[in-house]
Amino acid sequence: MKKENKTMNTPKKPKTLLEAKTEPLTEEATRLYLSCVMGDAQHGDDAIPEDYDGSQAHNIVQKRLDAAGADVSRWVVSFVATMCQSPGDCVLWAHALKTLGNKVGRVDMQELTNAFPMGFPSESERRSCWDSQKGYNLGLEKVDNYLDTKEAWA
């Protein structure tokens, strides 16, 4: 009698930004990053430069985090929003921050730095992560994007 292989019915997990290869920031991005690190350390969520806040990317990331009940510093949201080149990037970052928060509690710039000590995922790495969460790549029927499911945000 053959034993049933139960792993065949269990969908694999997609690659997250927390697992992606990273690359160093550009000089301009480094200046912004350091500004956010200093701002978060000095002011917390009491203050944030207006020019970092309110972009479409920022709003998408923040709304996903709010819906997931994640505790993430506004400085972190503002910084990662600058790296988002598509709504998919926004969703990937929100999911990564929620996942990180599940491990460390509140995600501030220090926790972001601890999670990404050598830089941040490149556009091609983000694309790879986005493709890996597609339902057809995970063996999920009737699911276009795994990150649109409740299970992904638990």
Report d(CA 125, CA 17) in Å as an integer.
Answer: 8
Task: Write down the pLDDT at residue 27.
Answer: 95
Report d(CA 112, CA 138) in Å as an integer.
Answer: 28
Distances (CA, A) of 152 to 1, 28, 100, 131: 36, 33, 13, 15
* Tally of CB atoms within 10 A around 16: 18
Are residues 128 and 20 in contact, defined by beta-carbon separation less than 8 angstroms?
yes
pTM above 0.85, yes or no: yes
Task: Write down the pLDDT at residue 130.
Answer: 95
Structural domain boundaries in the chain: 25-122
* Tally of CB atoms within 10 A around 58: 20
Residue 118: burial class (beta carbons within 10 Å; 0-12, 13-18, 19+)? exposed
Q: Which residues of the chain have pLDDT under 50?
A: 1-10
